[in-house]
Amino acid sequence: MNYSTHVPAFQMSLRAAVAAALSVAIAQWLHLQFPIYAMISAVVVTDLKASETWKLGGPRLAGSVVGAILGALTCAFLRPNAWEAGLAILAAMFLSHLLRLRNSAKVAGYVCGIVLLAFGDHPWEYALHRTIETALGIAMAMLVSLVPKLLPSYETDRQES
Domain ranges of the chain: 7-147
pLDDT tens-digit map of 61-84? 999 999 999 999 998 888 778 899
Query: For residues 153 and 2, is the Cβ–Cβ distance under 8 A?
Result: no
C-alpha pair distances (Å), 26 with each of 4, 44, 101, 104, 159: 34, 18, 29, 25, 38
State pTM to two decimals: 0.82
pLDDT digits (tens, 9 = 90+) for 16-32: 999 999 999 999 999 99
Rounded-to-integer distance, Cα 52 and Cα 126, Å: 29
